[in-house]
A and B are shown apart, each in its own frame.
Chain A
Amino acid sequence: MRLSLVVFTAALVAGCSCFQPRQVTPALFIVIPSAADGHVGAIVVHRGAESRVIDTAYGSQRLRSDGTLERATLDERDVRSRFADLIAALPGTPASFTLYFLEGSDELTTQSRTELDNIFAELKRRPLPDIVVIGHSDTVGGDAYNDQLSLARARRMREMLIGLGIPAERIEAAGRGKRELLVPTEDNVPEPRNRRVEINVR
């Protein structure tokens, strides 16, 4: 009796999965070349155990209502016109400015000092600036020292921007230490171009 109930239940469950189509919501995934530099990246579509990489311009995967994935290369003009509003609504590409510092210090070099006015004017021109200041150092000294120095540089620049009238809550400061050298060098090499802040504005 008990066994037959189990068999019956199993049959019912099996029946369900055989005769009822799976509920799949169709979707379309497309890789588009970068508007800024034409670079083509890659995305991966995972569906159950299956993974499909799309890494060509206007390459796409369509997930159909039967659960299968279909690969296709779409027409550039068709994609650009069908998704014109969507692509146009992507916020403006962020801008970045770089200023340089004296060795072991949060004082700007003389030349960077003269460039400040132009950068400040450009930042003020943006209606709703959202700014991240990132400080960097050269490879002289240890990690902890350079993390601290790079953060001090970023904070100093943040204060200058606040002084310019940009609301404090719109400006973030971070230090990257010697992790992101502009000019790759060995350790313990003084390099003026690595002692810098990046001002990233969105």
Chain B
Amino acid sequence: MRKTWIMAAVLAVAAPAMAADVGLIKVSKGDVRIERAGAKVPATVGAAVQPSDVIVTGTDGLAGITFTDNSLVSLGPNSVFSIDKYRFDSTTHQGEFESSLTRGRLAAISGKMVKQSPEAMKVRTPSAIMGVRGTEFIVQVD
């Protein structure tokens, strides 16, 4: 009973955040999918990206994503990219963008939140954390 209550409270808090789109798939070639709350959503061009999404590419997959602060991210084949935290205030440009690359490759161009506060964008690999002060970079996990 108590567990149910906690679950309900968690869902009530989590639901509005889940509804917010933080990015868009702009490039999608080969096998690209979004894993969202245990379900698989095809990552076609125009598909929305939400916080907590995991974007997975297959052996022939390539993906390009734009985020609301103008950050751009592309993923190479055999990659697993999770959006751990994303928040951006379009008035103050404050925000945070924490992601993880568990496998594969990514290239990125940082956006407005990094211009406002350096290292607001972070990319985690299994054994290191990278803070972005600007602007273009590549990460590869072997």
Question: Contact residues of A with B, CB < 8 Å?
Answer: 23-35, 39, 41-47, 55, 63, 67, 79, 83, 85-87, 89-94, 128, 130, 132, 134, 147, 172, 174-177, 200, 202
Contacts and interface: CB of A to CB of B under 8 A. Distances in A.
A29 B131 contact: no
Nearest to B133: A42
A27 B107 contact: no
B142 to A, nearest CB: 4
B62 A41 contact: no
A67 to B, nearest CB: 7
Given A27-B141, A175-B91, 17 more contacts: A25-B127, A27-B126, A27-B140, A33-B136, A34-B135, A41-B132, A41-B137, A44-B119, A47-B129, A55-B133, A85-B62, A85-B76, A86-B62, A87-B138, A89-B62, A90-B108, A134-B90
B123 to A, nearest CB: 9
Given A90-B64, A91-B26, A41 B127 contact: no
Given A34-B136, A86-B74, A46 B106 contact: no
Contact of A90 (B46, B109, B128, B133): B109
A57 to B, nearest CB: 10
Chain B interface, >50% SS class: strand
Nearest to A180: B93
B63 interface: yes
Contacts of B87: none
Given A29-B130, A46-B128, A83-B105, A128 B110 contact: no
A13 B137 CA distance: 40
Contacts of B83: none
A4 B134 CA distance: 55
Given A89-B74, A92-B26, A67 B127 contact: yes
B99 interface: no
B18 interface: no
Contacts of B128: 27, 29, 45-47, 63
B136 A44 contact: no
A43 B130 contact: yes
A172 B64 contact: no
Contacts of B135: 34, 39, 41
B90 A132 contact: yes
A93 B132 CA distance: 19
A34 B108 CA distance: 10
B36 interface: no
A63 B76 CA distance: 20
A89 B64 contact: yes
A43 B132 contact: yes
A116 to B, nearest CB: 23
A100 B70 CA distance: 23
Contacts of A85: 62, 76-77
22 contacts: A27-B126, A29-B130, A29-B137, A29-B139, A31-B136, A32-B137, A34-B135, A42-B133, A43-B131, A43-B137, A44-B133, A45-B128, A63-B128, A83-B138, A89-B29, A90-B27, A91-B65, A91-B66, A94-B66, A128-B46, A174-B90, A200-B70
